[in-house]
Amino acid sequence: MAEKTFTVKVEFPEGGEETFEAGAGEYILGAARRAGLQLPSLCEQGWDLACAVKIVEGEVDQSDSRRYFEEDRKCGFALICTGKACSDLVIVPYQSKQMRKCRDEHGLPAPRGT
């Protein structure tokens, strides 16, 4: 049986949008690359915040991420390098500074340079 797929819409902060399909079992960053879309990333293990996105709509499974907190989810952020779509998504990339601000507000660790 074919793997279930979800539609991921990327809304860029400077304007414009792209859409691609992501399988339920694959990482969103990998699906974006497969579709020819380059999004920022660094550690690719769900630790640093280079790949942070704001989730406008939908849900992401972060169980494979090395460091992801419940507060991150409550603030509406995901790490797409190790995040899997659980539904259709609308996301905004380039959110590392905003996600770090959320971490800071909750006294949680984060790299300072990304």
Partner 1 sequence: MAREMPHATGKVPPGDVTQRVGIEVMEARGVNVEELREKLIDAIAAEFASTYYYYTILRMYLAGHEDYKEICEDARLEDRAHFELMTPRVYELGGSLPYNLHEFADRAGCPHAYLPGTDNGQHAPEMGDGKGPSAADILEVLLDSERCAIRTWSEICDLTAGGKDPRTYDLASRILNEEIEHEAWFIELLSMERDGVVRPSGHFRRGEPGEAPYSKNRPLYNP
Question: Which chain residues interact with partner 1 by CB under 8 A?
Answer: 41-48, 66-67, 109-114
β-partners of residue 77 are 54
Q: How far is the CB of 111 from partner 1 (least distance, A)?
A: 4
Smallest distance, Å, CB 106 to partner 1?
13
d(CA 26, CA 4): 10
What residues are paired with 49 via a beta bridge? none
For partner 1, the closer of residues 32 and 89 by Cβ is 32
State how far the Cα of 19 lies from the Cα of 1, in Å rounded to an integer. 24
- Please report how close the Cβ of residue 59 comes to partner 1 at its closest, in angstroms: 24
Please, which residues have CB within 8 angstroms of residue 4's CB and are 6 or more apart in sequence? 23, 24
Q: Which is nearer to partner 1, 6 or 68 (CB)?
A: 68
Q: Which is nearer to partner 1, 30 or 58 (CB)?
A: 30
Closest to partner 1 by CB, 6 vs 93, is 93
Nearest distance in Å: CB 58, partner 1: 26
- Round to whole Å and give the CA distance between 18 and 104: 31
